[in-house]
Amino acid sequence: MPSRLALTIVAATLTACAEPAAKPAVKAEPTPGHASAKLEPATPATTGAKRSTYSQCNVAGPFIAITFDDGPHGANTPRLLKMLKDRGIKATFFVVGQCVAELPEIAKQIVDEGHEIANHSWSHPLLTKLGEGSVRDQIERTHNVIRQTTGAVPTLFRPPFGAFTANQRAWAHATLAYTSILWDVDSNDWKHRSAAKTESIIRAETRPGSIILCHDIHTPTIDAMPATLDALLGKGFKFVTVSQLLAMHVEKPPAPKAPPAKPIPAKDAADAASSPDQQQSASPAPAKP
């Protein structure tokens, strides 16, 4: 019998471009994808190697990136764009290919207004469960529809559910020069559907270099944005696109290794072993009555 988790993921992938009334749109209960995203290291494998994955950045200044997944949405995305424009904020939109195909004018508006548009697959499946050909189709179809619709060539990819194997990540990086983007601030807006909770989480968890995860397909998320954005601006944060944030990133130097312990000379070790204190500590404790 299929597990509850499997059924949740299948149900989640059937919805796109619009907000359902009851169940999550394209997010599910915490999935293996979320777990693997946090366990896979985002640091270079060797010194000087370029990262292929980021969940946050180390920056000198109060710079942050806010991101919106799963759109564009016919009503919510234009409303959000107005809020961003009024505040002079640039965001990054990880779009679903089939939604771009259905709403090309909104996808074009995202780019025309100076925001970054990025790849979030064609129909939001769990990519780690697909074969190589299906993964290529999901990513390449979306890459092409973004380029043909907006004129922009995406350079960033966010895997649905945050789930992307090391081999898939390497292929996307080598073939399309994609950097995989995760997040360090998860608003959980898809789960609680509360404007107040979305605002509270983002305000509490955002730090310099943060990449904030939201979804522009949910109306409560858009309802939360005016107060959320104004609060972050009030704290002195400066919004940039994800690519701009990556350009500011500086790798932290590795922590210095502790010097190796010096070996104890054989004579000193022998003397210590034969000392009365050492012999007493090595003797078994008397049995209790």
**Contacts by 28-35 with C-beta closer than 8 Å and gap 24+?**
28/161, 29/4, 29/5, 31/5, 31/126, 31/161, 31/163, 32/5, 32/128, 32/163, 33/126, 33/128, 33/159, 33/160, 33/161, 33/162, 33/163, 33/164, 34/161, 34/162, 34/163
The CATH number for 212's domain is 3.20.20.370
- Is residue 38 domain-resident? no
Instruction: Name the active-site residue from 69, 70, 186, 216.
Output: 69
- Is residue 138 domain-resident? yes
- Is residue 287 domain-resident? no
pLDDT value, residue 262? 63
Domain span including residue 96: 57-248
- Is residue 195 domain-resident? yes
How many structural domains does the chain have?
A: 1
- Is residue 253 domain-resident? no
Q: Is position 69 annotated as part of the catalytic site?
A: yes
Q: Is position 215 annotated as part of the catalytic site?
A: yes
pTM: 0.76
Instruction: Name the active-site residue from 186, 215, 216, 218.
Output: 215
pLDDT tens for the chain, residues 1 to 289: 444 434 333 334 334 576 543 333 333 233 333 333 332 333 333 333 468 999 999 999 999 999 999 999 999 999 999 999 999 999 999 999 999 999 999 999 999 999 999 999 999 999 999 999 999 999 999 999 999 999 999 999 999 999 999 999 999 999 999 999 999 999 999 999 999 999 999 999 999 999 999 999 999 999 999 999 999 999 999 999 999 999 999 998 877 777 766 665 666 555 545 554 444 444 444 444 4
Amino acid identity, residue 234? G
